[in-house]
Amino acid sequence: MQFPQPEMRILSGSVGRRVPMLERSRVLLCVLGSVAAACLAQAQGVRRPSTASASVSLVADSMHMTPLDRQRRVAIYLPPDYATSTRRYPVVYLQDGQNVFDGARAFAGEWGVDETLDSLHARTGLGVIVVAIDNDGRHRMDEYDPWRSADTRLGGGEGRAYLDFIAQTLKPLIDARYRTRPEAAQTMLAGSSMGGLIALAGALERPTVFGRAAIFSAATWVARDSMLALARRAGRAKDRARLWFVVGGEETADDEPLHDQRAVVAALVASGYVAGRDVVAIERPDGRHQEWFWRGEFPHAILWFTRAAHRPRAGMTHPHRAP
């Protein structure tokens, strides 16, 4: 599979400066290339040992996505005490499911979500259900972006149908089959890069379904104007999702993801979001646009989601970052 080479063109940046398209294209091509490599390895029969814990099982190997008429693999993590308790648990819906639990299936590195949650449960008793939804490579850019891009290489435009699948098909099934806490405040969308973009859009557009979102290094540049317009309207809504952001200081040479996160958070606060309550934004100086960075930040997102007391590591100073 071949992907187009990036053009040397200039687009407007998120804070009034001009930034090169090359850095964005490198990130995009790296992700798409990783997906293609994983698909190729599977087609050639390459197998790696599974790293998934006993807490992970399959919801469906091929679940029908009604609005999109596609099939999708969905896996689930259940807390270690699920079988021996009557507790109900909050739920995280995490994108790019191949990278969530199992190094044998990861296309860009594993997050180790199951090991992280097993460890947190052993130390604190914390229990969370995580639903991991695979991408299919080919339609990832379409499904994770609600807005059709003018650049045909970027696709987009199927994000709302993808959110319909989660909200109208997957979530009702999960709530019926497992002991969940189905209310919006106990339901979180999460994802990184393009997955972060759709998690943010989903929470802003459907706060009565997805009352929380964890956004790791969102690929805001793909739909910057549309996302900023949505953020500027979000505070006017009667219902308001609460949002947790993180971005790294070494993701691109021009710091575009960092500036984009600041711009989105500023738009949210200007629309009525309360910094520190409705929105928490964290910047890590050493963070990169890679799975190891998001894996390290996942425990902080979960502790925020479950309202556990914690303080994030020291990072960049910014008026909207967590205390």
Q: Which is nearest to 217 in space by CA: 80, 310, 70, 96? A: 96
- Residue 25: pLDDT band with limits 50, 70, 90: low
17 or 257, which is more confident? 257
What pLDDT, in 10s, does the model give residues 228-284?
A: 999 999 988 889 999 999 999 999 999 999 999 999 999 999 999 999 999 999 999
pLDDT at residue 47 in the model = 74
Helix, strand, coil % in the chain, rounded to nearest 5:
40, 20, 45
What pLDDT, in 10s, does the model give residues 165-177?
A: 999 999 999 999 9
Q: How far apart are CA 269 and CA 278, in angstroms?
A: 9
What pLDDT, in 10s, does the model give residues 52-82?
A: 999 999 999 999 998 899 999 999 999 999 9
Q: How far apart are CA 250 and CA 259, in angstroms?
A: 12
- Kindly report the average pLDDT of the chain as a whole number: 84
Share of the chain above pLDDT 70, in %: 81
Q: How far apart are CA 88 and CA 180, in angstroms?
A: 5
Give, in order, the Cα–Cα distances in Å from 208 to each of 62, 108, 166, 167: 28, 32, 13, 10
Weakest mean pLDDT among 6-10, 40-44, 297-301, 305-309: 6-10
**CATH class of the domain defined by 10-305:** alpha beta
pLDDT at residue 35 in the model = 54
45 or 139, which is more confident? 139
Q: How far apart are CA 46 and CA 64, in angstroms?
A: 27
pLDDT (average), residues 190-200? 97
pLDDT (average), residues 292-299? 96
pLDDT at residue 34 in the model = 44
Q: Which is nearest to 193 in space by CA: 160, 232, 229, 144? A: 144
pLDDT exceeds cutoff 80 at 313: no
